[in-house]
C-alpha cells in the first residue's frame, strides 16, 4: 500500500512537470532534416547539416542526400538566416552545447563516417569552426552527452553499411584537450545505435537504442532495446531500471528537468513493417521520465509531435527540438520549444 502510494506520488510529480510546447519559426527548408546537428552559441539557436530525400521517398526509389547548410535563429520570434556551411556535408553525429560553442562530433555521409570533431561558434554575425581532437575511429548513429567538463560518446557504427554496432565509450576532457579522447570500458550489453544519452551529477546515462545483426542480403537489421545503463567515472557501468518501452532515436541529449531525465517519444519498433508506408501514423508521443534517485520510470505526459533522429537543445532555459523524422523517410521542418 505504501509502495503504491509512493509510485502514485512520483507519477503525479512527473505529470506536474509536463512541458508546455509552442512552435517556433520552421526551418527554412520545407522538407526539413533528419540527423541534423544543433546547439546554442552567441545566444542563438543553430541547426546544421542533416539529410532528406529531395525527389522521391525511399520506397519509391528516392536517394537520401546529406547537407552542409547552417541556419541560425537569433531569437524565438526572429527569422532563420543561412549563416554558412559545415566543413563537409554531414549527418547523424552528436552535437553538444558547451560554454565555448557547439561541439560537432563524428557523423558521416552515404559513403563513409567521420572521425572529425569541431567546435562551431556564432558571434558578431559570423560562423567559425575550430578543430578538436578526432575520435579514435569513424563513428555515426552514436549518442552522447556532457557530464561536468567531460564529453561522452557511446555506441554507433564505424561504416554506413555496418551490420554490427560499436560498444565503445569514449570521453574527452574539455579542460585537457591535448590528452585527446580516452577509451573507457565498453558498454556491458554490447553495441547499439541511436540510443538516447543524458547526464546527471557527472554520470552518463544511456537509454534504449538498437543493436545490429546481419539480415537478408547482408543488410543490417535492428535488435530493439529498452535497457538503461549508468556510467560513473571511476566506478564503471551499472544497469538501471528498463524503460517502460523501447525509444530508439529519441531526441538526444535528453534534458534534465526538475531532477528527471526526459525521453521524448522515440521509435518503439512496433510499426517497422507498416504498410502502406505512405500512411505510416508516426512514432509514439509519450514522454518517459526517469528519476535517478529512485531508479524508476513514470509517464510524463505527451509531446505534440512525432519526431525521431532529432537533436535536443536547451536554449535560454527552454527545451528545443528542431526538426527530425516525422515518419519513416519523411522529415519535418517544425521547430518545437517548451517551457
Average pLDDT over residues 260-286: 96
How high is the pLDDT of residue 216? Answer: 86
Could you tell me whether strands 150-154 and 143-147 are parallel, antiparallel, or unpaired per DSSP bridges? antiparallel
Q: What is the pLDDT of residue 217?
A: 86
The C-alpha atoms of residue 217 and residue 156 are separated, in whole angstroms, by 22
Q: Which positions ≥6 away from 328 have C-beta within 8 Å?
A: 58, 274, 277, 280
CATH class name, domain 2-338: mainly beta
What per-residue confidence (pLDDT) applies to 16? Answer: 46
Q: What is the pTM of this model?
A: 0.94
Task: With beta carbons less than 8 A apart as the criterion, state whether 22 and 77 touch.
Answer: no
Q: Which residue has the higher pLDDT, 162 or 7?
A: 162
> Quick one: pLDDT at residue 3?
35
**So what's the pLDDT on residue 318?**
96
Q: Can you tell me which residue has the cell 537509454?
A: 207
List phi, psi (to 5°) of 314. Answer: -100, 120
> 71 phi and psi, to 5 degrees?
-115, 145
When comparing pLDDT for 1 and 48, which is higher?
A: 48
**pLDDT value at 306 more than 90:** yes
- Position 17 scores a pLDDT of 53
User: Residues 220, 213: contact at Cβ < 8 Å?
Assistant: yes
- Strand, coil or helix: what is 242? coil
Quickly list H helices, the chain.
Answer: 2-16
| pLDDT value at residue 339 | 80
Q: Residue 39 pLDDT > 50, yes or no? A: yes
Helix H or strand E segment including 144: strand 143-147
Name 123's bridge partners.
126
13, pLDDT greater than 80: no
**Is the peptide bond prior to 276 cis by the omega test (within 30 degrees of 0)?**
yes
Edge-to-edge strand order for the sheet containing 260-264? 256-257, 260-264, 286-291, 296-302
Q: pLDDT tens digits, residue range 105-163?
A: 999 999 999 999 999 999 999 999 999 999 999 999 999 999 999 999 999 999 999 99
**Has residue 14 got a pLDDT over 70?**
no
Query: What are the residue boundaries of the structural domains of the chain, listed by start?
Result: 2-338
3-state secondary structure of 14: helix
Strand ranges (E), 15-174 = 21-24, 37-41, 44-48, 51-52, 65-66, 69-73, 81-85, 94-98, 101-105, 117-123, 126-132, 143-147, 150-154, 169-173
The string of pLDDT tens digits covering residues 188-243 is 999 999 999 999 999 999 999 999 999 988 899 999 999 999 999 999 999 999 99
Question: CB pairs under 8 A, 24+ apart, for 2-9?
Answer: 7/296, 7/298
The pLDDT tens digits of the residues spanning 158-186 come to 999 999 999 999 999 999 999 999 999 99
Mean pLDDT, the chain, integer: 94
pLDDT range class, residue 10, cuts 50, 70, 90: very low
Q: pLDDT tens digit string along 265-276?
A: 999 999 999 999
Upstream peptide bond of 171 is cis (omega within 30 degrees of 0) = no
Amino acid at each position: 500500500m505504501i509502495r503504491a502510494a509512493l509510485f502514485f506520488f512520483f507519477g503525479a510529480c512527473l505529470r506536474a512537470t509536463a512541458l508546455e510546447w509552442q512552435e517556433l519559426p520552421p526551418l527554412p527548408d520545407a522538407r526539413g532534416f533528419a540527423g541534423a546537428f544543433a546547439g546554442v552559441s552567441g545566444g542563438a539557436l543553430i541547426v546544421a547539416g542533416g539529410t532528406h530525400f529531395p525527389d522521391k521517398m525511399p520506397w519509391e526509389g528516392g536517394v537520401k542526400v546529406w547537407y552542409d547548410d547552417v541556419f541560425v535563429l537569433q531569437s524565438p520570434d526572429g527569422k532563420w538566416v543561412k549563416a554558412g556551411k559545415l566543413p563537409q556535408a554531414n549527418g547523424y553525429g552528436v552535437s553538444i552545447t558547451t560554454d565555448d560553442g557547439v561541439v560537432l562530433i563524428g557523423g558521416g555521409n552515404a559513403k563513409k563516417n567521420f572521425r572529425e570533431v569541431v567546435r562551431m561558434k556564432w558571434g558578431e554575425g559570423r560562423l567559425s569552426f575550430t578543430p578538436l581532437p578526432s575520435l579514435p575511429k569513424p563513428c555515426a548513429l552514436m549518442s552522447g552527452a556532457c557530464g561536468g567538463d567531460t564529453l561522452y560518446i557511446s555506441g554507433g557504427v564505424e561504416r554506413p553499411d555496418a551490420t554490427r554496432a560499436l560498444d565503445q565509450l569514449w570521453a574527452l576532457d574539455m579542460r585537457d584537450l591535448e590528452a585527446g579522447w580516452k577509451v573507457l570500458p565498453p558498454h556491458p550489453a554490447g553495441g547499439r545505435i541511436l540510443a538516447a544519452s543524458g547526464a546527471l551529477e557527472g554520470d552518463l546515462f544511456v537509454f534504449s537504442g538498437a543493436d545490429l545483426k546481419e539480415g537478408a542480403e547482408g543488410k543490417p537489421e535492428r535488435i530493439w532495446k529498452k535497457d538503461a545503463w549508468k556510467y560513473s567515472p571511476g566506478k564503471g557501468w551499472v544497469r538501471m531500471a528498463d524503460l517502460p518501452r523501447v525509444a530508439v532515436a529519441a531526441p538526444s541529449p535528453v534534458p534534465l528537468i526538475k531532477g528527471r531525465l526526459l525521453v521524448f517519444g522515440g521509435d518503439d519498433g512496433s510499426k517497422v513493417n507498416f504498410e502502406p508506408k505512405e500512411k505510416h501514423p508516426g512514432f509514439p508521443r509519450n514522454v518517459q521520465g526517469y528519476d535517478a534517485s529512485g531508479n524508476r520510470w513514470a509517464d510524463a505526459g505527451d509531446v505534440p509531435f512525432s519526431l525521431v533522429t532529432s537533436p535536443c537543445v536547451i536554449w535560454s532555459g527552454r527545451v528545443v527540438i528542431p526538426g527530425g523524422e516525422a515518419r519513416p523517410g519523411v522529415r519535418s521542418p517544425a521547430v518545437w520549444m517548451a517551457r
